[in-house]
Structure 1
């Protein structure tokens, strides 16, 4: 009975709460799903947070962030309450200009503005900002072109794409040689699972994580997303993780 319990626990943990390992030619990247569109990565002593949200509890087993990337001004990306609950005094922020203008209450002078189609680096990690926006483009859309960032991170020999809140825009479809992609899919804010799968099938990341999939109608059907991708390309590894842990 004890062995059966351990097996079930291990299986449950692997499928839902995995700390995923991405090997590189210079050391492993550890991926930590946190909640919704929030994740953390660890690499060679560095800790990276993306869009810290949901309170400090989700980060309690992690080191304070060396680098924090924020994609957009909305509260599930730029979350003042979570940032104030975390120790960010020694963190380096990389954010679009629209986000920087809303960070007056964050005690940190290390805020680097990076707008669309610009690049920078942080301790050996190459970081590029990509557009993220809704289609058709309009001034009153939820996500206007140029306001927020998707990010490409080159860590050792691996290229990691973080979509931000976007539809299946040409800039995403044109990506090449992506090793790991985090892809949003929640209506009516970003993409449907059909749009997301079609875009993924075009740029062909090696590994894809559906995340940010809570919308007005509840959680998107990520199992169906996985089926849509793998029916046409079984070589793309779709990793389903628990982005909405019970509180």
Structure 2
């Protein structure tokens, strides 16, 4: 049974300052800001969970601001604190966008990603990037990160996310682990996970999981909290109804401009 960790409902705010001007400043000048979102109470302090859009999110922790799969243009992030680090799960356009990265993550921001994405980065970003293979461990500014395989398992979907290419990530905040699955179906590696405080799981066909597959996975590895994300066009009611007691389903606003059914 997974450990259950407290996530506070509603909106909490974590005041965070943007990078100072100079060598560490991103190319896109973001203002000092406040990161709003749900709060996960951990042994090391609160984690702020801020959905951005579809598969993009920001995690705030102490003085760290981690951008996960930032895409959509720098303007989408203009009112958020600048990143201190970036995670990228794989090379599809709804997870990886070079112009967005160049604008928000220039000037020495560390990037953890896959070999596929690393090979596509321009030299200025590649200098501060590290490629993790499935199963590798690394860190972002001292926060432990592990790369979990993310891939399709259904025969008619194998071409979308082949095994060995994409990563999900386990990020450890204090004693608590946040799992960002990336684009994947239920895999043996996912189903074997334990002690996950918060999980972000995708569900949309034909690329990732059905709501029923996602619920079955949740019922197996039992995170304390699950956020369905990357779910455009999926039946979240069916997903939530199939999740067993003991796991809290959190719905966030991943499609703020009414594009969920697109």
Please indicate the TM-score interval, normalised by the length of the shorter structure: 0.7 to 0.9
1:53-91 deviation per Cα after TM superposition (whole angstroms, max 9, x unaligned): 122233222222111000011111111232233243231
Mapped partners of 1:107, 1:236: distance in 2: 38
Which of 210, 221, 245 is residue 235 of structure 2 equivalent to? 221
**Aligned pair partner of 2:83 in 56, 65, 76:** 65
Q: Larger % of helix: which?
A: 1
Q: Deviation digits for residues 84-120 of structure 1, max 9, x if unmatched?
A: 3324323100011111011126545111111100101
Deviates more, 1:173-182 or 1:78-87: 78-87
Matched, 1:36 2:70: no
Is the 1:66–1:90 contact (alpha carbons within 8 Å) kept by the matching residues of 2? no
- Whole-Å separation in 1 of the counterparts to 2:65 and 2:215: 30
Residue-by-residue CA offset, 1:175-219 (whole Å, 9 max, x unaligned): 0010000000010000000000000000000000000012xxxx2
**Is the CA contact (8 Å cut-off) linking 1:208 and 1:236 kept in structure 2?**
yes
Of the candidates 147, 153, 169, which is equivalent to residue 171 of structure 2? 153
| RMSD (Å), alpha carbons | 2.1
Does residue 245 (structure 1) correspond to residue 256 (structure 2)? The answer is yes
In the alignment, the residues of structure 2 paired with residue 90 and residue 209 of structure 1 have an alpha-carbon distance, to the nearest angstrom, of 31
Structure 2, unaligned stretches of length 5 or more?
A: 1-9, 12-35
Matches within 5 A, 1:56-135: 56-104=74-122, 107=125, 109-135=127-153
Does residue 212 (structure 1) correspond to residue 212 (structure 2)? The answer is no
2:158 paired with 1:144: no
Contact 1:68 1:94 in 2 (8 A): yes
TM-score when normalising by structure 1: 0.86
Aligned to 2:45: 27
In the TM superposition, residue 160 of structure 1 has moved relative to its aligned partner by: 0.7
* Gap runs ≥5 in structure 1: 1-12
Report the count of equivalent residues: 226
